[in-house]
């Protein structure tokens, strides 16, 4: 006597692996246990927004992905369902909006059809957005200063550690020239970079030298002073003051010195781990007093002109901000009283980004203030303390990096394929002949629970049945076909009862470790959204899995505290996703895990031409040869070894042709190329495959032993 069939009818059903060959023993009973009316324990809609409507509009997608919350005023959805970039923020006119899909198409389409032929993934930079962010920050401080009657000015610097890309730094210097906007460096290479870029900047722009310093660093900073840069050496450790005094005398340079104060105000979030009395950086009050004495004894106390502090990135509220700024202003006033020629208070970084659009002050992903509120809080806190102490209002400097560069860069990558975590099936037949008595008992108990609509009991016996069958398989008494059918049944029960819409895994053409390292390392979450098809309702819950051979290479946390991302079913063409607000730190921190290099890059300016944009700079991502060199391999030597190997085992002619294909691989990017022309479709009489027909015929016509078929070309 057989077991009853558990039926579950869906469209386009696919049987479980091995199911078609699983036909042994007696046939199953005609009795059918239906799952179709089973009560589910989770919501069935991807999102509650307009879930009962048969219509879907771009506005619904904007709400679903919270684009207006985290993206305003730079990102929106147009009537075609594509993400648009508003390069001038709230001042952008409708005809100036840039369709992001059109940019991606222009960058990635083959050159034969007018594209640039760049391989994905792709970073798209918008210098206009960068300019607007810098101007908005400047405007916020100017407004606060004028409104509150503050008697000095704001003069910011950009910390190059956020994104050291040449074009980013050069643009900031160019856009900041009218505002005396400067740069901050935290290492010797960054200092060299900053000095070079500021050659074209405003002569009054500050060059702030932070970070731990040795004699070479200090000498370089003093030479910058000699080159007429407005350089300030900020002391991070007490020992540095003696180096500054000694080297400045040897070089005959009168330095400008700053102190980094270790405040008692502490930021309790993740980014505040270096703040407070036990923080990594800065001088305590005792250290500060000893530095003041050393400078006084060396007749250099007038060189002390700046006070710096930093209470951590992503400061969540203006209350915490004002607390820290007020404490620093007190120290600034005391240094003035002690005889230092104080002129600047550098409030460091901390101006936050609202990554999830929640406007919350209780999360590392958000902040509860605007640019204007931030500037107003800073100006007010300094002014109140200085007025009380009868101290001249200082120049206000900030080192806002994340707030300046985050919005201007968008990472675009493709979803290559998708898999279900649970298969869709019409029905599962389990011939009892292969099952143990205990397993058959679990099956009948599960069937009874189905009839009673007892979800919890059904899941219990389904799990127990699966575990018993796994044990049978390990003991060798159950075949792989039977085990596959049991796995399919368990997935079916779980899918039907627990989650009507299974979460799928989308394979994306990306390395998370290279392009989104903060997600892997500190759990930083960025907005990820399809850049097109937003006029269609997403039908799939998904997580993202990258190309790396690492279990951490996945994204399974999204803004809003969600464990999955609503996506569309893949179509015939490319399906592009965008990661937004990632312009800070991600490129600087990315490595070469699995030897995946950085993405291709294009720079896009708003234009009054027919497409509203112009690509002014394009650079392909590093090739396989490039990333191999990073790890001390020599691609040319590697190729020669492989060429000799091919000729040894495949013959001179065939080996040379095959070596030519290997040479091409050295020059290509490590990422997947979905439209690659490299398909092993041609075969010669010896049975060796060639890359494509062009290679095959070229080899036949010119002779496979010619150098051009295997020579390795490198930049």
CA dist., res. 697 & res. 702, Å (int): 9
Catalytic residue among 549, 678, 691, 713: 549
CA dist., res. 400 & res. 135, Å (int): 13
Cβ proximity of 83 and 77 under 8 Å: yes
CA dist., res. 217 & res. 211, Å (int): 10
The string over 241-253, giving b where at least 16 C-beta atoms fall within 10 Å of a residue's C-beta and e elsewhere, is bebbbebbeeeeb
CA 666, 671, 673, 674 torsion: positive or negative? positive
What are the angstrom distances between the C-alpha of 592 and each of 30, 384, 511, 629? Answer: 58, 49, 9, 11
- List for the chain the helix, strand, coil content (%; round to 5): 40, 15, 40
Query: H-type helices in 392-479, by residue range?
Result: 402-405, 437-451, 455-475
* Residue given tokens 């077991």 in the structure block: 3
Relative to beta strand 257-260, strand 230-235 is: parallel
CA dist., res. 596 & res. 590, Å (int): 10
CA dist., res. 641 & res. 654, Å (int): 16
Active site residue 549: yes
Question: How many C-beta atoms surround the C-beta of residue 522 within 10 A?
Answer: 11
Beta strands in 267-362 (DSSP E): 304-308, 344-346
- Residues with a catalytic annotation lie at 549
């Amino acid at each position: 006597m057989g077991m009853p069939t558990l039926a579950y009818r869906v469209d386009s059903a696919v049987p479980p692996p091995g199911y078609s060959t699983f036909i042994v023993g007696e046939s199953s009973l005609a009795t059918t246990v239906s799952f179709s009316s089973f009560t589910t324990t989770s919501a069935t809609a991807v999102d509650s927004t307009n879930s009962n409507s048969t219509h879907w509009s771009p506005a619904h997608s904007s709400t679903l992905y919270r684009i207006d919350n985290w993206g305003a005023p730079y990102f929106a959805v147009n009537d075609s369902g594509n993400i648009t970039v508003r390069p001038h923020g709230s001042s952008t006119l409708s005809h100036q909006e840039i369709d992001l899909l059109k940019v991606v198409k222009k960058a990635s389409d083959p050159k034969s059809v007018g594209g640039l032929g760049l391989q994905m993934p792709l970073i798209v930079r918008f210098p206009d957005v960068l300019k607007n962010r810098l101007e908005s920050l400047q405007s916020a401080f100017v407004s606060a200063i004028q409104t509150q009657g503050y008697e000095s000015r704001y003069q910011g610097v950009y910390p190059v550690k956020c994104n050291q890309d040449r074009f980013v730094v050069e643009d900031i210097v160019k856009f900041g020239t009218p505002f005396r906007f400067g740069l901050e460096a935290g290492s010797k290479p960054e200092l060299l970079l900053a000095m070079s870029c500021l050659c074209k900047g405003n002569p009054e722009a500050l060059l702030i030298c932070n970070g731990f310093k040795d004699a070479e660093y200090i000498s370089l900073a003093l030479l910058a002073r000699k080159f007429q840069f407005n350089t300030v050496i900020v002391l991070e450790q007490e020992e540095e003051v003696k180096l500054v005094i000694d080297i400045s005398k040897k070089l005959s340079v009168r330095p400008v010195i700053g102190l980094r104060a270790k405040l008692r105000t502490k930021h309790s979030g993740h980014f505040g781990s270096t703040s407070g009395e036990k923080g990594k950086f800065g001088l305590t009050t005792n250290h500060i007093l000893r530095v003041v004495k050393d400078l006084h004894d060396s007749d250099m106390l007038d060189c002390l002109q700046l006070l710096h502090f930093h209470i951590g990135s992503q400061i969540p509220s203006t209350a915490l901000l004002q607390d820290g700024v007020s404490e620093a202003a007190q120290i600034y006033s005391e240094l003035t009283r002690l005889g230092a020629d104080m002129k600047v208070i550098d409030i460091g970084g901390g101006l936050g980004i609202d990554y999830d659009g929640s406007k919350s002050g209780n999360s590392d992903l958000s902040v509860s203030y605007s640019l204007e509120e931030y500037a107003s809080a800073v100006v007010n806190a300094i002014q109140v303390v200085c007025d009380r102490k009868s101290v001249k209002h200082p120049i206000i400097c900030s080192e806002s990096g994340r707030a300046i560069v985050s919005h201007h860069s968008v990472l675009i990558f493709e979803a290559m394929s998708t898999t279900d975590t649970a298969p869709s099936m019409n029905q599962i037949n389990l011939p009892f002949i292969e099952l143990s008595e205990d397993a058959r008992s679990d099956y009948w108990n599960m069937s009874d629970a189905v009839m009673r609509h007892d979800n919890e009991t059904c899941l219990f016996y389904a799990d127990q049945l699966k575990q018993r069958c796994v044990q049978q398989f390990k003991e060798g008494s159950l075949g792989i076909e039977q085990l596959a059918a049991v796995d399919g049944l368990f997935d079916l029960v779980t899918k039907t009862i627990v989650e009507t819409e299974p979460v799928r895994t989308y394979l994306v053409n990306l390395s998370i470790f290279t392009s989104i390292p903060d997600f892997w390392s500190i759990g930083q979450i960025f907005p990820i959204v399809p850049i097109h098809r937003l006029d269609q309702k997403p039908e799939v819950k998904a997580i993202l899995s990258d190309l790396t051979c690492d279990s951490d290479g996945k994204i399974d946390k999204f803004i809003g505290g969600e464990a999955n991302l609503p996506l569309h079913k893949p179509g015939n063409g490319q399906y592009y996703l965008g990661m937004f607000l990632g312009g800070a730190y991600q490129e600087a921190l990315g490595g070469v895990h699995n030897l995946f290099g950085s993405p291709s890059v294009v720079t896009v300016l708003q234009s009054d031409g027919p497409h509203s944009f112009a690509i002014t700079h394009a650079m392909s991502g590093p090739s396989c040869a490039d990333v191999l060199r990073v790890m001390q391999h020599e691609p040319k030597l590697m190729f020669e070894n492989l060429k000799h190997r091919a000729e040894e085992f495949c013959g001179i002619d065939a080996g040379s042709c095959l070596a030519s294909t290997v040479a091409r691989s050295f020059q290509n990017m490590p990422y997947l190329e979905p439209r690659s022309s490299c398909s092993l479709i041609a075969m010669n009489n010896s049975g060796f495959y060639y890359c494509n027909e062009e290679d095959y015929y070229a080899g036949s016509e010119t002779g496979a032993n010619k150098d051009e078929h295997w020579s390795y070309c490198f930049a």
